[in-house]
A and B are shown apart, each in its own frame.
Chain A
Amino acid sequence: MNNKPKKAGMTLIVKTITRLTVGLILLFGIYIVLHGHITPGGGFAGGVIIALSFIHLMLAFGKDLALKKLSEAQASFFESLGAIMFLTIAILGFVGGYFFLNFFLDKGEPFKLFSAGIIPLCNVAICFKVGAGLFAIFAALVFLKIGSGEER
């Protein structure tokens, strides 16, 4: 009775609730990013929420399953992709003559989703970078701890 093999993750209740809510958390994060110019939030906050949905998977199910969904190499790739997208938006402004010029849509009327120029694109780029970056930091720290635990 005391020698059960150690299962990865937490108890059954936590796993069931996680299965139900992780998708909703991801969707909520995407909503905050896309409406960044109308309601408070934007790239940083939305990116953190999206990263938290993946970390929630890792906490509840153990690290193997979470890393199968989004491995470390993919996270690193998304991070660099976000930064390069942001720089491309900035440099494309040179076409109009200035850095970071509004080339996408007109300047922004309140309460409309498809307005306010390049700000939604910048929000999406920042969301990629922050989300992937936070998940990569968490995965790297988890690997470090396990590595040092095995050596002693």
Chain B
Amino acid sequence: MIIYFMCLILFCVGLYAILVKRNLIKIIIGIIITEYAVNLFFILVAYRSKGRAPILIPDQIVKNMVDPLPQALVLTAIVIGLAVTALMVAIAVRVYEKYGTFDITKIKRQKG
């Protein structure tokens, strides 16, 4: 039970970094932490008590394995997170080229 609370605290740490910090790179790190927290929650959902890893070894009785389906889904979600991180870093580098700074209070040129 306590491990789910720690997962929620990790999510809130990431959310704090997105909302409060002013540097672009720190916002990117906040988003990465948030996505990791959600992936971790998904895997923790699949735990069965006293289970083993779901790998089949010769002459082994299939008795007590954890759920393997969320593990495959989280693999896909991790790859999606990687692609999005790469795109964000590329855009951040281009923003630095154009504006000369990473501070988001100085990159506001659009109003309203």
Contacts and interface: CB of A to CB of B under 8 A. Distances in A.
A137 B55 CA distance: 33
B94 interface: yes
B55 A151 contact: no
Given A39-B55, A40-B55, A137-B86, A145 B93 contact: yes
Q: Classify chain B: how many residues form its interface, as a range.
A: 10 to 19
B24 to A, nearest CB: 14
Interface string A122-145: 000000001000000100110011
A5 interface: no
Interface residues of A, number: 13
A44 B78 CA distance: 10
A110 interface: yes
B31 to A, nearest CB: 17
**Which label, helix, strand, loop or mixed, suits the secondary structure of the A interface?**
helix
Interface of B: 55-56, 58, 75, 79, 86, 89-90, 93-94, 96-97
Closest 9 CB pairs of A and B: A148-B97, A137-B86, A144-B93, A110-B56, A44-B79, A44-B75, A111-B58, A40-B55, A141-B90
Given A44-B79, A110-B56, A144-B94, 12 more contacts: A39-B55, A110-B58, A111-B56, A111-B58, A130-B79, A137-B86, A141-B86, A141-B89, A141-B93, A144-B90, A144-B93, A148-B96
